[in-house]
Structure 1
Amino acid sequence: MNKPKIIDLFSGVGGFSLGFEMAGYETVFAIDFWKDAIQTYNFNRKKDIAVHMDITKLTNEQLKKLKTEHEIEGIIGGPPCQGFSTVGTRDINDERNHLYLEYYRVVKEIMPKFFVIENVKGLLTLNKGMFKEDILKRFGELGYKIAEPQVLNAANYGVPQNRHRVFFVGVLDGHFEYPPTSGKKVSTLEALSDLPSLDNIENYAESYNYNFEPENSFQALMRKNSTKVFNHNDTNHTSQTIDIISMVPDGGSIKDLPPEYWEVRKYNKAFQRMNSQQPSHTIDTGHRNYFHYSENRVPSIRECARIQSFPDDFIFTGAKSSQYKQVGNAVPPLLAYQIATQLLNRNNCDDITVKVNSDSNLQLSLSLS
């Protein structure tokens, strides 16, 4: 049986693609302006389907060729969000704010059966909701039935991370409903405990053995196609930094220390430790202020990838700083999976319940195209 085919715009390393592939879709084309991300995207696939390219240079003739070669079921993607971010300048004239018009151009040319846009929640309120209303109007005029955009927290869908992102979903056929939330949330301890302690690793290696057998279904899912741990190396900290981290309790921050330490980093979220009993805070692209729940260091690339719900056989390439950014920019695959499942069943989605949590027996296929 042929799999329904999708295109991933502004793909990054392909977290969005991966989630849809886990649900049964096939990605036939992906595009991103960042070379490092495309290299990682293709490194993890049998075919080099992703291209390093400015989307404004993607011609309508190329799109028509794609449409001729493939029956495109859907288009997914997250136009760059820095201009919308609540931690950024929120400049309405930021050129990145208008890249969704390129996304619109591609959808208009291809006219897939559905589209999904993911972005930071700041998009909803920037310039009094102008971008939200423009998206609804433009795509609505193409004939898409668009569900009211919703801000979803990844932690409610099996991802061990509190990450709030807005989704716009439009369909030409059927009826889309956002996925129901899962049950018990996955904590950072449940997500990471089987990974080897970096306190006990003396020398750099490309891969390491796991601590022990999976302790829960999330760990089993992440390890389904992997026998080794990759992208798992320490970061050098100054002795001063290590000393301060060591005094911060599980789930605490520098505010739990005497005021004289607050001047070390004049940032109200500095020196935060993960809470071992709760999902992580949002994994970002820097990782200089967030620390492991028990070890005195920033999380490794692999730990960040786990918190984003990337399986362990997904390898990040390039410089270490680039890898952190690649992970932080991605859509969590398990959240994408939930959206994809709803779309796959949109013609009979009155009674869909998909749960992915630490007590779940859900088995997903993580094979890549």
Structure 2
Amino acid sequence: MLDLFAGCGGLTRGFVDEGDFRSSGAVEFDRSAAATYAANFDPTGTHTFAGDIADFRDVPPVDLVIGGPPCQGFSALGRRDPADVRNQLWREFVRVVRDSDARMFVFENVDRFAKTPEFDLLRAAAGEGGQLADFRTQVFRLNAADFGTPQKRIRTIIVGSRIGPVSAPVASHARRPTANLPRWVTLREAFLSGPVVLDPGVRDEWLPESFLDFQGRSVPGAFKLRDLHVTKRYDLTSEIRYAHIAPGQSRLQLPEDLQYPCWRRDPVGRSDVLGRLRWDEPGVTIRTEFFKPEKGRFLHPQWENGGDQVNRALTHAEAAVVQGFDDRHVWCGSKAEIARQIGNAVPPPLARAIARVVGDRLTAA
């Protein structure tokens, strides 16, 4: 398989975990993310293309192309500018699928991508008279929590095939437990009893001093997941502000003297800002600036009025666990670069579920 817009390799991690998939190449513009991908799946760095996909011309023949073009041009959190050049990157995806002679492709993007003109154009490309006329597409709207990720994250998945349709990915968890399915994985289970137990009292601030060579340039890393269990120092006013917010609450519950002036002018908007997570639910969608409490519902769930409190945002390690990564995955880059990689990643448990049905079709063909 070939992974386009590969990021840190969340999609590849899920497909490789299914056992029958092997990475033959990756394309990623962000050098630190490309280094992370290579550290996990391409130790020699020889088949990771760190550059603009428009310049990627030596396309290898593969069975499968996977990838998720940058979503900021479509995201409800962005400007949703129709002229955003990122909205056109799906065309490069189509070109590489054609040039690779792949039998199938998997295209991942944000939920609202299915409501854009680009969605219709992509499906038309895999229709009569299109560049991928021998492909037929299926569209799935999937919530990562339904597949064992401790996070509510909804994504549009388009599977293209010229060897026959795939079955719908089968959920492994449910919002409410049933006779056949356990409930969604909660943050308590993910942080305190999962494959990586994380101490909520962490106060480390810096990544270890470590570097590796990636394609002739030095890059920070490779860091293990526990190395990413880092936070930042907050001033006293911020800690007092965070201490007022119980699980499930947000900046709306702050007394007026702790509100920022802009919040006083807008007393009801942005209700998730400065929100605290709940132990017994999955997390919300991890974004690239999860380490800033003012950016969303990212305060640690540990809170007891008058008792033990953890008044900080999620650490990088916690955010990676919420995305479904375990301690096999290593990371390269600065704190800010790794945060961007984590926030942009496809959760590996979701990727595994997709890989299962794609693998079944490729095997049967």
Per the normalisation by structure 2, the TM-score is: 0.81
Q: What CA distance in whole angstroms lies between the structure 1 residues aligned with 2:146 and 2:15?
A: 18
The answer for the alignment partner of 1:246 in structure 2 is 243
* 1:121/1:182 CA distance change after superposition, 3 Å: same
Q: What CA distance in whole angstroms lies between the structure 2 residues aligned with 1:18 and 1:43?
A: 12
The answer for the alignment partner of 1:172 in structure 2 is 162
* 1:57/1:82 CA distance change after superposition, 3 Å: same
Say which of 198, 201, 224 aligns to 1:199. Answer: 201
**Match of 1:167, as an amino acid?**
I
**Match of 1:281, as an amino acid?**
V
The answer for the alignment partner of 2:11 in structure 1 is 16
Q: What CA distance in whole angstroms lies between the structure 2 residues aligned with 1:137 and 1:314?
A: 37
Q: Is the 8 A contact 2:204 2:230 kept in 1?
A: no
Say which of 49, 65, 74 aligns to 2:64. Answer: 74
Q: What CA distance in whole angstroms lies between the structure 2 residues aligned with 1:239 and 1:264?
A: 18
**Match of 2:166, as an amino acid?**
F
Which residues in structure 2 correspond to 1:26-175 (within 5 Å)?
26-45=22-41, 46-48=43-45, 49-59=47-57, 62-63=58-59, 66-67=60-61, 72-126=62-116, 130-140=117-127, 141=130, 142-147=133-138, 149-175=139-165
| CA drift at 1:180 | 1.9
Q: Is the 8 A contact 1:230 1:315 kept in 2?
A: no
Q: Is the 8 A contact 2:245 2:254 kept in 1?
A: yes
Q: Is the 8 A contact 1:251 1:273 kept in 2?
A: yes
The answer for the alignment partner of 1:181 in structure 2 is 171
2:346 matches 1:331: yes
Aligned residue pairs, count: 314
2:334 matches 1:319: yes
| CA drift at 1:284 | 0.2
| CA drift at 1:91 | 1.0
**Match of 1:17, as an amino acid?**
T
Say which of 248, 252, 256 aligns to 1:255. Answer: 252
Q: What CA distance in whole angstroms lies between the structure 2 residues aligned with 1:53 and 1:100?
A: 16
Q: What CA distance in whole angstroms lies between the structure 1 residues aligned with 2:101 and 2:207?
A: 47
* 1:284/1:227 CA distance change after superposition, 3 Å: closer
Q: What CA distance in whole angstroms lies between the structure 1 residues aligned with 2:204 and 2:69?
A: 41
Q: Is the 8 A contact 2:288 2:339 kept in 1?
A: yes
Unaligned runs of 5+ in 1: 1-5, 208-225, 350-369
In percent, how many aligned pairs have the same letter? 30
**Match of 1:248, as an amino acid?**
I
The answer for the alignment partner of 1:293 in structure 2 is 301
Q: Is the 8 A contact 2:205 2:230 kept in 1?
A: no
The structure whose RCO (Cα within 8 Å, separation 6+) is larger is: 1
Q: What CA distance in whole angstroms lies between the structure 2 residues aligned with 1:270 and 1:201?
A: 23
Q: Is the 8 A contact 1:19 1:340 kept in 2?
A: yes
Map Cα deviations across residues 237-287 of structure 1 (whole Å, 9 max, x no partner): 111111111121122212233344343663432211111110000000001
Per the normalisation by structure 1, the TM-score is: 0.80
